[in-house]
Chains A and B, each alone.
Chain A
């Protein structure tokens, strides 16, 4: 699934993925938000271990991705966090290959960035927290969108590499739709929890000045 091993994708896809994620990574490092670095490290660690708990679904097996949550909480800083965790997963667990690292990073990070772009402004507008609901639903939207967009990216990488596209897409729909629902629930709950316990972690008005999304 999200960790594509070596030997599946074609060379043009691998090269395009590597260039795109290297470019995005360079951009993200320039905009690195040092105040959120400990949070980024914690989320990166969570992403790193979340892949160990996998559930068989249909013909495949899935685990939580957390990329929606990372995008929402970290913005651009989610990129290096995801990249570091993916490298370590490849080194320590053998998930995904090294040649595929660029594509895998892109498949996870682009959805995270899109979640940040679309939902972080909403979260800021919610700043004088009116109630629990909006925060939960914003989190749920990020969690679900993160997973589904990753599935789309994955289907594209497989399809562009000349794999049979339709069966791949079918497997992805079967396995990723339940995962998206679970992830939406979890991301919403985590966000609601953070709002109660540590609202500073959520992007606030100050973050608006520090960092400007593209």
Chain B
């Protein structure tokens, strides 16, 4: 029984191929991404590093935990849902075997797109700048249509950034892998040290 010899054989056999294969990304975790452009929420469900999760079930849940809709996924794992009101929404994805994940869409992402529900009565766009301006002035004094258009444009521009940020977070980094391996080796060293101390203390 030569632990060091065993280790020297096992480490390269078991760990290095795994490391070599896994350095860039690869993770297995169900993720869902969604973003609102106006009232239309589009997104996708996928396994981080492992492709689309086309078989997952998507639910749109509101703040009272009511299921509003169950959009179907296409082959690439994409879905879309048209929001009915500016409210906090939760997109929940499940695969049925214990994978579950969610994505929150705050009401503020949707507010810009519901001028009608916000001000109560729908106002005709043509008269908005002059006639309807005094009763319901927009917070900044801007035309509500313009605000909506700006918010839509910003959301469109931000979307690729958000997607990129999410995919960046999905990556298992070499730092994490090495950190975990270091922990395991450290714990082993600790246990062996503890044992050697105890055996040395005994006469």
Residues in A neighbouring B86, C-beta threshold 8 A:
none
Of A18-26, A33-41, A133-141, the one contacting chain B is A33-41
Closest chain-B Cβ to A116's Cβ sits at a distance in Å of 18
- Interface pair A49/B15, CB less than 8 Å apart: yes
Q: A37-B191, A39-B3 are in contact. Are A63 and B28 (CB under 8 A)?
A: yes
Which of chain B's residues has its CB closest to A104's CB?
A: B98
Range of interface residues on chain B?
Answer: 35 or more
Asked if A158 CB lies within 8 Å of chain B CBs, one says: yes
Closest chain-A Cβ to B190's Cβ sits at a distance in Å of 10
Q: A32-B191, A39-B3, A60-B55 are in contact. Are A52 and B14 (CB under 8 A)?
A: no
Closest chain-B Cβ to A15's Cβ sits at a distance in Å of 18
Closest chain-B Cβ to A107's Cβ sits at a distance in Å of 10
- Interface pair A54/B97, CB less than 8 Å apart: no
Residues in A neighbouring B13, C-beta threshold 8 A:
190, 193
Interface of A is mostly: helix
Contact of A167 among B1, B50, B96 (CB under 8 A): B96
- Interface pair B9/A198, CB less than 8 Å apart: yes
Which of chain B's residues has its CB closest to A2's CB?
A: B98
Residues in B neighbouring A49, C-beta threshold 8 A:
15, 18-19, 22, 177, 180-181
- Interface pair B180/A89, CB less than 8 Å apart: yes
Asked if A46 CB lies within 8 Å of chain B CBs, one says: yes
- Interface pair B6/A45, CB less than 8 Å apart: no
Closest chain-B Cβ to A78's Cβ sits at a distance in Å of 14
How far, in angstroms, from A36 to B22 measured CA to CA in the complex?
Answer: 27
Asked if B39 CB lies within 8 Å of chain A CBs, one says: no
Map CB proximity to A onto B78-108 as digits: 1 under 8 Å, 0 otherwise: 0000000000000000011111110000000
Closest chain-B Cβ to A208's Cβ sits at a distance in Å of 14
Contact of A35 among B1, B56, B181, B185 (CB under 8 A): B1
Q: A46-B14, A89-B180 are in contact. Are A171 and B6 (CB under 8 A)?
A: no
Most A CB atoms within 10 A — which of B1, B13, B14, B187? B14
Asked if B75 CB lies within 8 Å of chain A CBs, one says: no
- Interface pair A200/B172, CB less than 8 Å apart: no
How far, in angstroms, from A85 to B185 measured CA to CA in the complex?
Answer: 11
Can you report 13 residue pairs joining A to B where beta carbons are below 8 Å apart?
A5-B99, A8-B100, A32-B191, A35-B3, A52-B27, A54-B28, A54-B50, A59-B53, A60-B55, A93-B176, A95-B27, A168-B97, A200-B2
